[in-house]
Chain A
Amino acid sequence: MADLSTTFLGIKSPNPFWLASAPPTDREVNVTRAFRAGWGGVVWKTLGAEGPPIVNVNGPRYGAIHGADRRLLGFNNIELITDRPLQLNLQEIKAVKKAWPDRAVVVSLMVPCDEESWKAILKVVEETECDGVELNFGCPHGMSERGMGSAVGQVPEYIEMVARWCKQHTRMPVIVKLTPNITDIRYPARAAKQGGADAVSLINTVSSIVSIDLDRMAPNPTIDGKGSHGGYCGPAVKPIALNMVAEIARDPETRGLPISGIGGVTTWRDAAEFIALGCGTVQVCTAAMTYGFKVVEELKAGLSNWMDGKGYRSIEDFRGLAAPNVTDWRYLNLNYVTKAVIDQDLCIQCGRCHIACEDTSHQAIAATVDGRRMFVVKDEECVGCNLCIEVCPVEGCITMQPLAAGAIDPRTGLRVEPGYANWTTHPNNPMAQVAAE
């Protein structure tokens, strides 16, 4: 059986599944229940500076996008950082770490952007003997209005500065949690690295309004007739997170920087994808909030069975294997020519492929053959775009088949060239340059 244990910045955990800093990790009872259920680690709900505790709204703080049958696909919140007294959290963190020495306990922090504040909080957190700290530069709502959270995370110089203070004032590993609410994730990641951070974690939630209540004419969740933008997470944000993780994994300036992947992890497969892009651990919030801590059983068994099937014995065996295959568009092989092929035995003749292609693409799927309803790809029109495959309700019914080198592409009348050629050397490219590598 595959070994799921991980060592991330020297922090050991029996499996890569950590609970992200959020309500599931806000108190000792939750965390104890989580560890009992089998989670490998937690990032404690973000602590603020000493002083009067944070105040949350007293009305609804969540909204959601549901699929058919009320499957929760996207989740939105306007919750702030922990609203419990600092000392209580610290006592509980200490007690939990002592009771669960084999699990990772990382503490998330967000204090005002001055050195003294960070120095003070690091000192008291260190006393809990937790395994590390995560700097929350991510929350897009509420705290950002007070110059914290994403207000810091959106300014690379601030990230670098705070990361540097933290590295100076603690011996603990420092993880910088990034906000996706920026234009290019590589800048904050580079700043974190410049400041000496040991790792980055991402993503925090995406600024969002989940829906508008058309009776009250206000955003959801509505607090006495008004609403505020919140942070979006859950299955819907995974693609955004994967891209950002990949960007950091392949940026020459940050390549090799340890990453804890977050955003929409719901099944073992999501976790495997983050790890394949290079993440050392993954963090989960929405899946736990939707289904309870027991989901970790599926995560662990699924990852382990998949690894067994592939012959991977440890997480390190496949970590990062997909990262080198993420490249720029201009390096994609233009000699790779594919055509859609419909398996007539599987086709249920719904016609979705036809109308999608006919109305919005390349008019490459016929709807009748010899006067009969039948859906067949016209190779002379098909550009191999994949639209039909994505809209076909029958998995595996339409497949994309590459043309062999030397074959004539009936669409262009050109011979498929062997080997690799990309845009950088393409004759149509006015800026044609010598292909890199």
Chain B
Amino acid sequence: MSANRTAAGWASGRLSTAELAANFSDLHPPLDRHEAHVEADRCYFCFDAPCQSACPTSIDVPLFIRQIQADDPIGSADTILRANVFGGMCARVCPTATLCEEACVRNAAEGKPVKIGLLQRYATDVAFDRGRQPFTRAPATGRRIAVVGAGPAGLACAHKLAELGHDVTVFEVRPKLGGLNEYGIASYKAPDDFAQREVAFVLSIGGIAVEGDKRLGQDFTLADLRRKFDAVFLGLGLGGVNRLGLPGDDALEGVMDAVEWIATLRQTADKSQLPVGRRVVVIGGGMTAVDAAVQARRLGAEEVTIAYRRGLEAMKASLYERQLAQTNGVLIRTWAMPVELLGDNGRVTGITFERTAEVDGKLLGAGECFTLAADMVMCAVGQVLVPSDLGGEELPALKGGRIVVDDERRTSLPGVWAGGDCVAGGKDLTVAAVEDGKQAALSINRALMGVLAAAAE
């Protein structure tokens, strides 16, 4: 038992190395070959399969599962990756319970969907282990396209464009590529440096140059890109975060942004060196709140509470994710709105909430308050686009602070496409970002190559 387990305040090494290793390894262990075959056998090879329609990237699920059944995992992976080059990551992070698996007809038959996500992982893992390259590039077109942001949206766009024969330059501000795949996704969903291995695979198609350490809006402008390239794709994600808006949220030590804390956690190889509070409160109701809370528990925090200002049904975190939090010993408190951060000597010591109620669709404070002791308070109340990144002069149209795009992911600016978290009306999921990137690439290709491209598709 580690000495620091119950250390007050802020401490690292609360758990033993073995406990940490177990806590941050695969949340769902991969299926072995036998398990994959047994599970694949459950698929009915449905016509016009509902699971495929429910997948934002329209992966041919019945076909890839049949290929597993027929012991052709490589063919299966080809089927997956052709529709979704991040099929490996998506297999690990997609909230399948609200996507493909929710649509599986086995739900109606027996309340248990085919484990599509785990099967997808099985096939893509085999392909990765064998170094499979399913893609070849079309003859060079001589067209040059700039992609800003190396998250799943940007890289999926770059990959499809490279496949179509275009030359792509990716501009990225962070030291590693992958966006939130590298800095955001919970550690136990993609262990063993999978994000970087996958990025290497995506880039291995060729034709994609990376300009690292380059920030749009600082090192160059959108206008520069539009001048120098035939087309521009913006896959910026959401660089900024909402604050609590309470006094002390930027001054008290121990009050932090959940996304930033997760990024630090993801980049800390030795988890025993990462300090975490003994009593942790996470404010928010989405996937980020759940991930922050669960990872804090797995690092050894003794009490972790998620506080959300509305009811359970309104939480963006799905039932599955809420249960994940609960089975990890996280307490979820609803109808609680933060009103005051308490501190001592510049360090947070607690947080006071006012109970809330919904009256005529409006959320109101109900007057009654309670206080939770806390030595760490994480905010997970939403991320925002940083508008200054887009430059001064000519901005694409925005709605609710995000970029407006049409069905083809065209912005209001000619020659500029966008996708992923930075666009309005999206799903804020990895798989949705991949689809945006892919669709934008196809649209860019049509725009640049005209009729020829439409015929070839």
- A residues apposed to B, CB below 8 Å: 69, 71, 267-269, 291-292, 294-295, 297-298, 301-302, 304-306, 309, 394-395
Does A395 contact B34, Cβ atoms closer than 8 Å?
A: yes
| Most chain A CB atoms below 10 A, which of B42, B71, B72 | B72
Does A301 contact B34, Cβ atoms closer than 8 Å?
A: no
Residue of A nearest to B79 (CB): A301
Does A269 contact B75, Cβ atoms closer than 8 Å?
A: no
A392 to chain B, nearest CB (A): 12
- B residues apposed to A, CB below 8 Å: 33-34, 41-42, 45, 47, 62-63, 66-67, 69-72, 74-75, 78-79
A-B contact pairs, 25 of them (CB 8 A): A69-B41, A71-B41, A267-B69, A267-B70, A267-B71, A268-B70, A269-B70, A269-B71, A291-B45, A294-B62, A294-B63, A295-B45, A295-B66, A298-B63, A298-B67, A298-B70, A301-B67, A301-B72, A301-B78, A302-B67, A302-B71, A304-B75, A305-B75, A395-B33, A395-B34
Nearest 7 A/B pairs, CB to CB = A301-B75, A267-B70, A302-B72, A305-B74, A305-B75, A298-B66, A291-B45
**8 Å CB contact of B47 from A71, A292, A301, A302:** A292
Which residues does chain B contribute within 8 Å of A298, judged by CB atoms? 63, 66-67, 70, 72, 75
B70 to chain A, nearest CB (A): 4
**8 Å CB contact of B34 from A71, A294, A302, A394:** A394
Given contacts A295-B66, A394-B34, 4 further A-B contacts (CB under 8 A): A267-B69, A301-B75, A302-B67, A309-B74
How far does the alpha carbon of A427 sit from the alpha carbon of B42 in the complex, in Å? 53
Which residues does chain B contribute within 8 Å of A71, judged by CB atoms? 41
Residue of B nearest to A290 (CB): B45
Which residues does chain A contribute within 8 Å of B74, judged by CB atoms? 305, 309
A346 to chain B, nearest CB (A): 10
Does B72 contact A306, Cβ atoms closer than 8 Å?
A: yes
Does B72 contact A297, Cβ atoms closer than 8 Å?
A: no
| Most chain A CB atoms below 10 A, which of B34, B41, B70, B71 | B70
Residue of A nearest to B130 (CB): A309
Does B72 contact A268, Cβ atoms closer than 8 Å?
A: yes
Which residues does chain A contribute within 8 Å of B47, judged by CB atoms? 292
Which residues does chain B contribute within 8 Å of A295, judged by CB atoms? 45, 66
Interface of chain A: mostly helix, strand, loop or mixed:
helix
How far does the alpha carbon of A291 sit from the alpha carbon of B71 in the complex, in Å? 17
Residue of A nearest to B68 (CB): A298
Interface of chain B: mostly helix, strand, loop or mixed:
helix
Residue of A nearest to B67 (CB): A298
**8 Å CB contact of A297 from B42, B63, B69:** B63
How far does the alpha carbon of A112 sit from the alpha carbon of B62 in the complex, in Å? 44
| Most chain A CB atoms below 10 A, which of B41, B47, B74 | B74
Which residues does chain B contribute within 8 Å of A304, judged by CB atoms? 75
Residue of A nearest to B66 (CB): A298
How far does the alpha carbon of A93 sit from the alpha carbon of B171 in the complex, in Å? 57
A109 to chain B, nearest CB (A): 33
Residue of B nearest to A300 (CB): B75
| Most chain B CB atoms below 10 A, which of A267, A268, A291, A298 | A298
How far does the alpha carbon of A294 sit from the alpha carbon of B70 in the complex, in Å? 14
B126 to chain A, nearest CB (A): 11
| Most chain B CB atoms below 10 A, which of A69, A291, A304, A395 | A291
How far does the alpha carbon of A305 sit from the alpha carbon of B75 in the complex, in Å? 7
How far does the alpha carbon of A263 sit from the alpha carbon of B103 in the complex, in Å? 35
Which residues does chain A contribute within 8 Å of B34, judged by CB atoms? 394-395
| Most chain A CB atoms below 10 A, which of B66, B71, B78 | B66
Which residues does chain B contribute within 8 Å of A292, judged by CB atoms? 45, 47
B129 to chain A, nearest CB (A): 14
Residue of B nearest to A71 (CB): B41
How far does the alpha carbon of A71 sit from the alpha carbon of B41 in the complex, in Å? 9
Residue of B nearest to A394 (CB): B34
Which residues does chain A contribute within 8 Å of B42, judged by CB atoms? 69
How far does the alpha carbon of A305 sit from the alpha carbon of B70 in the complex, in Å? 12
B308 to chain A, nearest CB (A): 41
How far does the alpha carbon of A269 sit from the alpha carbon of B71 in the complex, in Å? 9
Which residues does chain A contribute within 8 Å of B41, judged by CB atoms? 69, 71
Which residues does chain A contribute within 8 Å of B69, judged by CB atoms? 267
A299 to chain B, nearest CB (A): 8
Residue of B nearest to A393 (CB): B34
Which residues does chain A contribute within 8 Å of B72, judged by CB atoms? 268, 298, 301-302, 305-306
Which residues does chain A contribute within 8 Å of B33, judged by CB atoms? 395
Residue of A nearest to B75 (CB): A301
Which residues does chain A contribute within 8 Å of B67, judged by CB atoms? 298, 301-302
| Most chain A CB atoms below 10 A, which of B45, B69, B75 | B75
How far does the alpha carbon of A295 sit from the alpha carbon of B69 in the complex, in Å? 12
A36 to chain B, nearest CB (A): 15
Which residues does chain B contribute within 8 Å of A294, judged by CB atoms? 45, 62-63
A73 to chain B, nearest CB (A): 12
Which residues does chain A contribute within 8 Å of B63, judged by CB atoms? 294, 297-298
A271 to chain B, nearest CB (A): 10
How far does the alpha carbon of A63 sit from the alpha carbon of B41 in the complex, in Å? 22
How far does the alpha carbon of A69 sit from the alpha carbon of B71 in the complex, in Å? 20
A27 to chain B, nearest CB (A): 19
B128 to chain A, nearest CB (A): 16
Which residues does chain A contribute within 8 Å of B70, judged by CB atoms? 267-269, 298, 302
B59 to chain A, nearest CB (A): 14
Residue of A nearest to B62 (CB): A294
B119 to chain A, nearest CB (A): 14
B63 to chain A, nearest CB (A): 6
How far does the alpha carbon of A409 sit from the alpha carbon of B307 in the complex, in Å? 72
How far does the alpha carbon of A306 sit from the alpha carbon of B73 in the complex, in Å? 11
How far does the alpha carbon of A269 sit from the alpha carbon of B33 in the complex, in Å? 17
Residue of B nearest to A294 (CB): B63
Residue of B nearest to A301 (CB): B75
B33 to chain A, nearest CB (A): 8
How far does the alpha carbon of A395 sit from the alpha carbon of B32 in the complex, in Å? 12
How far does the alpha carbon of A139 sit from the alpha carbon of B67 in the complex, in Å? 32
Which residues does chain B contribute within 8 Å of A305, judged by CB atoms? 72, 74-75
Which residues does chain B contribute within 8 Å of A69, judged by CB atoms? 41-42
How far does the alpha carbon of A295 sit from the alpha carbon of B65 in the complex, in Å? 12
B376 to chain A, nearest CB (A): 44
| Most chain B CB atoms below 10 A, which of A292, A302, A395 | A302
